[in-house]
């Protein structure tokens, strides 16, 4: 009896967000507008911080990197999603698929670690105000950002190494709008149950533990605020409220994606849409509308006098 040899496929077909042909053109326009809003909103925050005195403060230093990560993270997914809504054949090469998965996980994980750094910054500012400038020096801020990048790189590399060694002999249709670990595991020509457990343990449990740690840290911060003055408490609550909102918007869909409660791909796609498109869309609004410092800085940087200044 001859042994059957499997030949790895060289490209995948992305089935997309949904199969309704009539709504694809409209959704392409909507997602294009959302993508432009994400780019303009986050770049406006980034340039405002870089062009004002706010960049000297650790909180805004981290916020500038968070905005940059939002732009990069969405850019790994949104252009392909928008184009695929308009074309009939939605293919992506094997190497392109691995690259997209790596960069999506890299920028997403970096964002998670920066959110942790921002929570630590707020904890030090409110719970240890006398030592704040010493603890959160510019050198420490750079170290935290570098640690975030290195940790995200290690995480992303692990995801790619898990997938790249698997045999893919067909079918090659990914029931998603971008390349991710779980949809690819379903296409592998081998039993992947152990790998799913490993990914849930590493990515899923890590997401839960990080989320719980962030929530506990903000509870401690809110508890400490009781001893502050009314004005200081209001300002701190406004800042922490923005952070908590972003944390919930980003982490809850992420947890539901990587800690699967049921085998539902359609739900995964909806949850993924939250942390790839919706959260980056609202982050600039959340951090500016309730932040007096940001609004004042934006007036100075983008005000009429500044825009038309010749010298």
In this model, does residue 311 exceed pLDDT 70? no
pLDDT band at 58 (very low <50, low <70, confident <90, very high): very high
- What would the pLDDT profile of 169-209 be if each residue is shown by its tens digit? 878 898 889 999 888 988 988 888 888 888 888 787 888 88
b/e sequence 212-221, b meaning 16+ C-beta within 10 Å: eebeebbeeb
Q: How much is the pLDDT for 144?
A: 95
Residue 103's contacts (CB-CB under 8 Å, 6 or more residues apart) are: 72, 76, 156
Give DSSP secondary structure letters for 19-39. --HHHHHHHHHHHHHHHHHHH
Could you report the per-residue pLDDT of 101-120, keeping only the tens digit for each?
999 999 999 999 999 999 99
Answer whether residue 161 shows pLDDT above 60. yes
What gap in Å lies between CA 15 and CA 206, rounded to an integer? 29
Residue 253 has pLDDT above 90, yes or no: no
Of the pLDDT bands very low, low, confident and very high (cuts 50, 70, 90), residue 40 is very high
Inform me whether the pLDDT recorded for 37 exceeds 90: yes
User: What pLDDT score was predicted for residue 190?
Assistant: 87
């Amino acid at each position: 009896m001859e042994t059957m040899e499997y030949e790895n496929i060289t490209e995948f077909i992305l089935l997309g967000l949904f199969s309704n042909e009539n709504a694809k053109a409209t959704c392409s326009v909507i997602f294009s507008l959302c993508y432009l809003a994400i780019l303009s909103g986050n770049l406006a925050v980034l340039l405002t911080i870089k062009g004002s005195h706010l960049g000297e403060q650790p909180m805004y230093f981290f916020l500038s990197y968070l905005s940059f990560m939002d732009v990069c993270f969405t850019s790994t997914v949104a252009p392909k999603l928008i184009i695929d809504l308009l074309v009939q054949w939605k293919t992506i090469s094997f190497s392109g698929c691995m690259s997209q998965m790596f960069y999506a996980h890299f920028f997403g994980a970096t964002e998670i670690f920066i959110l942790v750094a921002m929570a630590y910054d707020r904890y030090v500012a409110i719970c240890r105000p006398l030592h704040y400038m010493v603890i959160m020096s510019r050198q420490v801020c750079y170290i935290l950002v570098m640690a975030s990048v290195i940790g995200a790189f290690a995480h992303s590399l692990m995801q790619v190494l898990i997938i790249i060694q698997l045999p893919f002999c067909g079918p090659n249709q990914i029931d998603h709008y971008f390349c991710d670990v779980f949809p690819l595991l379903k296409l592998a020509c081998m039993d992947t149950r152990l790998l799913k457990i490993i990914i849930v343990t590493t990515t899923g449990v890590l997401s839960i533990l990080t989320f719980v740690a962030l929530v506990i840290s903000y509870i401690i911060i809110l508890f400490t605020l009781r001893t502050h003055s009314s004005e200081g408490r209001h300002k701190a609550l406004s800042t922490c409220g923005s952070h908590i909102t972003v944390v919930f918007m980003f982490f809850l869909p992420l947890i539901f994606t990587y800690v699967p409660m049921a085998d539902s791909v359609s739900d995964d796609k909806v949850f993924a849409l939250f942390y790839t498109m919706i959260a980056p869309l609202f982050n600039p609004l959340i951090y500016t509308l309730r932040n007096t410092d940001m609004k004042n800085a934006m007036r100075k940087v983008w005000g009429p006098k500044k825009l038309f200044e010749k010298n």
